[in-house]
Amino acid sequence: MSADHVHSSAERLARADAYAVEHDLTLTPLRRQVYELIVTAAKPIGAYDLLAALEPQRGRVPPTTVYRALEFLVENGFVHRIESRNAFVACCEIGKPHQSQFLICERCGETVEIPGEELAERLSASPPAHGFEVHKQVVELTGLCGECKSKSKEAGA
């Protein structure tokens, strides 16, 4: 893990703590610990991987407890659920309502959240014209990140 990643992780945790206090949200020790694991993960992390990571510090934690923590974190904008992976990634804009799309590397799992209000608006404009009511919008693009793409080219050369 790079020094930049550690620094940004510390900043993200501090922002999360401040946001929770400012909005009178209870960031319990378990919720914060789950959030910290998601923030420091190199790629989206699933609930059972979170359970395994919590066990050395907390002993066996019931899955429902972790799922409730994840539900709180998603509902309050701390993390996003990556639908195609059934995994979670830290939100880049805690507390700011926004639409995001995700770039997901098929090889290494790196996931990048990209802002996408304009795309979300364009996608949402079409369904009502067809009598369809949208309740949720998820856009996940899969492919190869720059590093994996370079490695593929080097291996093929």
Q: Binding site residues for Zn(2+), as ranges? A: 105, 108, 145, 148
Q: Are 121 and 70 in contact (CB under 8 A)?
A: no
Q: Cβ contacts of residue 146 below 8 Å, gap of 6+?
A: none
DSSP labels, 77-112: TSEEEEGGGTEEEE-SSTTS---EEEEEETTT--EE
Map residue 28 onto helix, strand or coil.
coil
**Binding-site residue set:** 105, 108, 145, 148
- What does R_g of the chain's alpha carbons equal in angstroms? 17
